């Protein structure tokens, strides 16, 4: 892949139709929940939907399906890689499963450097110059987690060859990743699952408020507390 692939243009090209249909059904049925009472986001915006794709792939067969889709997209795009991972925990389950399915390595980027022992920030694979890395995040909105993982990975000398997500909830991440000269693939967009995009900074977009990463607007968290 020579250029960034816009989110929303990849799924039909890179996933077999049957695999795409099964994964989309999984995302809709197990990862997406609607509440008539909007959930408050930490930015002050609200959303009637929350997405939890770790819950969606909690069963072994469902995790295997997601890993097959990611591996298929990488292969179809011509992406060769040595390791896959991203920020914990959004990347962890699927990255582990992809590594197992493709005989590659997984890694997990801590939010902060470990304060004891090895003081590592990146767990799992030893990333180094020459290591080809796929950055993964299950759900992307702002692209913040991808960029944070990118900085941690490239600090090791490893090369990021692709950034990939199962679901992109906004229009914000693709141009940010493009600015790092990294191809970006989103297997599904917000419109594939029937939800509106979370808005951008300064309250732009249909729902108001600033965007938050898709994994934050879940029940039981401050960001996912119903309002009203």
Q: 30-63: per-residue pLDDT in tens? A: 999 888 888 665 444 577 888 889 999 999 999 9
In CATH terms, 11-226 corresponds, of 3.60.20.10, 3.30.70.20, 3.40.50.2020, 3.20.20.140, to: 3.40.50.2020
The full set of domain ranges for the chain reads: 11-226
Q: Following DSSP, what letter does each residue of the chain receive, concatenated?
A: --SPPPTTSSHHHHS-HHHHHHHHHHIIIIIEEEEEEEEEPTTS-EEEEEE-HHHHT-SHHHHHHHHHHHHHHHHHTT---SEEEEETTTSHHHHHHHHHHHT-EEEEE-SS--SSTT--SEEES---TT-EEEEEEEEESSSHHHHHHHHHHHTTT-EEEEEEEEEE-SSSHHHHHHTTT--EEEEEEGGGTT-PPPP-GGG-STT-S----TTTS-TTSSTTEE--
pTM for the structure as a whole: 0.81
pLDDT in tens, 109-167: 998 776 565 678 999 999 999 999 999 999 998 898 999 999 999 999 999 999 999 99
């Amino acid at each position: 892949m020579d250029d960034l692939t816009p989110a929303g243009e990849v799924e039909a090209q890179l996933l077999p139709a049957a695999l795409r249909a099964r994964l989309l059904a999984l995302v809709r049925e197990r990862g997406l929940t609607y509440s008539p009472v909007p959930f408050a986001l930490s930015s002050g915006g609200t959303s009637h939907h929350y997405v939890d794709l770790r819950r969606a792939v909690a069963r072994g067969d469902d995790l295997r399906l997601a890993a097959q889709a990611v591996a298929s997209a990488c292969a179809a795009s011509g992406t060769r890689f040595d390791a896959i991972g991203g920020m914990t925990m959004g990347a962890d389950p699927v990255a582990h499963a992809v590594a197992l399915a493709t005989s590659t390595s997984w890694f997990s980027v801590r939010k902060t450097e470990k304060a004891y022992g090895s003081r590592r920030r990146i767990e799992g694979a030893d990333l180094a110059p020459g290591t080809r890395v796929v950055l993964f995040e299950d759900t992307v909105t702002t692209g913040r987690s991808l960029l944070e993982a990118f900085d941690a990975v490239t600090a090791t000398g490893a090369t990021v060859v692709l950034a990939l997500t199962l679901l992109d909830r906004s229009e914000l991440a693709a141009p940010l990743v493009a600015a790092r000269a990294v191809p970006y693939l989103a297997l599904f967009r917000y419109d594939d699952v029937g939800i509106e995009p979370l808005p951008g900074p300064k309250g732009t977009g249909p729902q108001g408020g600033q965007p938050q990463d898709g994994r934050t607007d879940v029940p039981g968290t401050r960001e996912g507390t119903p309002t009203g």
